[in-house]
């Protein structure tokens, strides 16, 4: 009888696993207990570095990116105001008004 609870495996059979040639992906194992007990426990991971060096460089990098984006916005606004002052705006844009009923019947507007 299979007394495994959902999401748990009570035993791994190396004979069966050796026959599998694909990779194991999308899973992780968490050991609840082992029989027999291990001779030595796994070594603990070292504590992460709290040195401000890498954090400070990322901070400066994002501040620089923000300043560059702000600078690009200012340049674009200055160019747009200059173009408006010199009369180089796109005032000659032609708009066409379409009627939905005419489109549905395939009627062309006069003058086109």
> Which structure tokens are listed for 64?
């620089």
Longest dimension (CA), the chain: 93
| Per-residue model confidence as pLDDT tens digits over 41-76 | 888 999 988 888 778 888 999 999 999 999 999 999
Q: Does the CA dihedral 61-62-65-66 come out positive or negative?
A: negative
pLDDT at 76: 96
The answer, yes or no, to whether residue 13 has pLDDT greater than 70, is no
E-strand spans in 12-77? none
Q: Which residue has the higher pLDDT, 34 or 20?
A: 34
Q: Which residue has the higher pLDDT, 27 or 61?
A: 61
Find, among 10, 1, 2, the residue nearest to 33 by Cα: 10
Average pLDDT over residues 29-42: 78
DSSP designation for 86: T
């Amino acid at each position: 009888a299979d007394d495994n609870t959902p999401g748990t495996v009570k035993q791994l059979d190396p004979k069966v696993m050796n026959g599998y040639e694909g990779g194991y992906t999308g899973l992780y194992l968490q050991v609840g207990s082992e029989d027999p007990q291990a001779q030595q426990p796994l070594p603990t991971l070292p504590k992460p570095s709290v040195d401000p060096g890498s954090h400070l460089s990322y901070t400066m990098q994002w501040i620089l990116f923000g300043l560059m984006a702000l600078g690009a916005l200012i340049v674009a606004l200055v160019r747009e105001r200059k173009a408006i002052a010199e009369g180089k705006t796109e005032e000659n844009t032609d708009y066409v008004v379409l009627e939905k009923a005419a489109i549905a019947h395939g009627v062309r507007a006069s003058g086109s």
